Amino acid sequence: MSFFSSRKHFNDLTEQEILALAISSEEDDARIYRMYADRLQKDFPGTAAVFIGMAEEEDLHRQRLIDAHIARFGTVIPLIRREHVAGYYARRPVWLIENLGLERIRAEAAAMEAQAEQFYLAAAKRTQDAATRKLLGDLAAAEAGHQDSATQLEQDHLDPDSRTVEEATAHRQFILTWVQPGLAGLMDGSVSTLAPIFATAFATQNTWTTFLVGLAASVGAGISMGFTEAASDDGQLSGRGSPVKRGIAAGVMTALGGLGHALPYLIPHFWTATITAFVVVFVELWAIAWIQKKYMETPFLRAAFQVVLGGALVFGAGVLIGSG
């Protein structure tokens, strides 16, 4: 409730404060675009140039707003920012967006332009001065047309060859940061937990005990794999990306790989649970082979042979140990 808030409601802003808010917002957006450009400059220079061009347009908007403020209210601009206004749209911190990939950054920029357009439309309705109202309306139209400007900037800086190179770089980064550690985790979780789970199953023929062993093995392997991946390489020299992301991918997929054939042992009937676990293992191993083919360009039959053979050996060891 704004009644208990120390922030000012948008409808209570004066026309001078609306102009001041618009000025600070344009300044913030320009800085965000320049930070995106700096983040992307090394791997995506074409897209970085697009963001620099967008930042320069925001600078022009800010200057027009400052000129309007000076003409009406003088040179002293009130200090008012987004966080001072209740209900005003907020910008996500750059560090939450900049590591999410090229397309995510582009989508965030499009959302920023849409929010700015809505602000100028609302601000124009609150303004009585004809010149200021026209300026705010023009800026709303400019924000709406920024998609066309961005398209033109992309045409200027992103020729087909540059776009192809950037898309290939983004795809490679996705594989190195997410797919490769996730696949390693899924393989480790799916294969390495077979022995303890099925050894316990055939040794005790107790489904609940088997489930607890499988749960412990899966979670333990996930934690171990996640920390190992995160600590093995900070990504600065190898270009493999954030160690936190890689650790999460490896840890989560390791745990899921083990839990897949542990969960069937929640079924009370031993043979029903065991047969279900067999089917899950089969699906897991073929899923691993498919991922290797799709993302790692490994021939499917070779990937399937390697994974199924390894899984069969570990499974056989677990059954043999448990039966003995």
Compute the distance between CA of residue 172 and CA of residue 159 in angstroms, rounded to an integer: 20
Short-list 25, 301, 254, CA closest to 136: 25
**Is-contact 100 36, C-beta < 8 A?**
no
Residues 154, 226 contacting (CB under 8 angstroms):
no
Separation between Cα atoms, residue 285 and residue 115, nearest integer Å: 46
Phi, psi (deg, nearest 5) at residue 85: -115, 120
Specify the pLDDT at position 271.
92
With vertex at residue 49, the alpha carbon angle to CA 43 and CA 54, rounded to the nearest 5 degrees, is: 130
Distance of CA 219 to the CA centre of its chain: 24
Residue 236 DSSP symbol: T
CA atoms within 13 A on the CB side of 42: 5
Specify the pLDDT at position 84.
85
- Is the separation of the CB atoms in 157 and 50 below 8 Å? yes
Query: In tens digits, what is the pLDDT along the chain, a chain of 324 residues?
Result: 444 457 788 888 899 999 999 999 999 999 988 988 888 887 778 788 888 888 998 999 999 999 999 999 999 999 888 888 876 767 766 665 555 566 677 777 777 888 888 888 888 888 888 888 899 888 888 877 765 555 554 555 455 665 565 566 666 667 777 788 888 888 888 888 888 898 898 889 999 999 999 999 999 988 988 888 888 766 654 556 678 888 888 899 999 988 998 999 999 999 999 999 988 888 888 888 888 887 776 777 776 676 677 667 776 776 677 675
> CA-CA distance, 142 to 125, in Å (whole number)?
17
Work out the widest C-alpha separation in the chain, in whole angstroms. Answer: 91
Nearest 5°: phi and psi at 9? -75, 145
| In contact, 199 and 321? CB cutoff 8 Å | yes
153-159-164 Cα angle (round to 5): 120
The answer to whether residues 323 and 202 touch, using CB atoms and an 8 Å cutoff, is yes
CA-CA distance, 244 to 234, in Å (whole number)? 9
- Residue pair 91/115 in contact (Cβ under 8 Å)? The answer is no
Task: Output the CA–CA distances (angstroms, integers) from residue 208 to 194, 214, 257, 263, 314, in the order listed.
Answer: 16, 10, 19, 10, 22
Query: Quick one: tokens of 297?
Result: 């360009």
- Which pLDDT value is given to residue 4? 46
Separation of alpha carbons 194 and 191, rounded Å: 5
